Amino acid sequence: MVNGFIILCAYLIGSIPSGLWIGKLFYHTDIREHGSGNLGATNTFRILGKKAGIVVTVMDVLKGTAAVLLVSLPVFADSPIHPLVLGLVAVIGHMFPIFANFRGGKAVATSAGVLLGYSWPLFVLLFITFIVTLKITKIVSLTSMIAALVALIYAIVYYFVTGDFALGILVAFLFTFIIYRHRANIGRIKNGTEPKVKWL
């Protein structure tokens, strides 16, 4: 009973459509009807601007962190579920949110939030990687996939050093999700038609 409830909580947290709610509440705009049609931070930056994009990014990151930290709450203290399982469920909620007809984002920010809640040094490494790579390439999708690859390499090395198998499995799933969700972007990158950011 408790295990099912905590998993449901993680999914509902991940399902919060930050971009949709911020757009409708403060800009009277449904970002699903503009740009890429995606509910993630990148489309929010593109359609609503830097301020809204930053807010949505932070909210999406914190969804992943909140899900991982659910096991820290007294009501869930006895749950045997690994916090990374809850993080993974939140990411699935972000990609397929019940509050937005199961049309969500591409999992990057919420995945980062999961790692922030579980391994902040890895989060810091990925944050630096993301900023530097984005500054060089100006392509968010490419930057996101490179950061996911760095996370995967880190998790593999970390496993051999510490034996933390759960982190390796989680990052492998997140890497797969991110690459799959960016499959259209990969085609545009190859064709040289992928949009570049103008706000950095």
66-85: average pLDDT: 91
Alpha-carbon gap, residue 168 to 170, rounded angstroms: 5
Instruction: State residue 188 phi and psi, 5-degree precision.
Output: -70, -35
The percentage of residues in the chain with a pLDDT greater than 70, rounded to a whole number, is 99
91 vs 197 pLDDT, higher one: 91
Its sign, for the CA torsion 53, 58, 59, 60, is positive
Flag whether pLDDT at 199 surpasses 90.
Answer: no
Confidence at residue 36, expressed as pLDDT on a 0 to 100 scale: 81
Helical spans, DSSP H, in 70-193? 83-95, 108-118, 120-137, 140-162, 165-181, 183-191
Domain ranges of the chain: 2-191
pLDDT single digits (tens) 152-163? 999 999 999 999
Alpha-carbon gap, residue 48 to 113, rounded angstroms: 22
Confidence at residue 194, expressed as pLDDT on a 0 to 100 scale: 92
Confidence at residue 200, expressed as pLDDT on a 0 to 100 scale: 65
Flag whether pLDDT at 2 surpasses 80.
Answer: no
Alpha-carbon gap, residue 164 to 43, rounded angstroms: 35
pLDDT single digits (tens) 16-74? 999 999 999 999 999 999 888 888 888 999 899 999 999 999 999 999 999 999 999 98
Mean pLDDT of the chain: 93
184-196: average pLDDT: 92
pLDDT single digits (tens) 111-146? 999 999 999 999 999 999 999 999 999 999 999 999
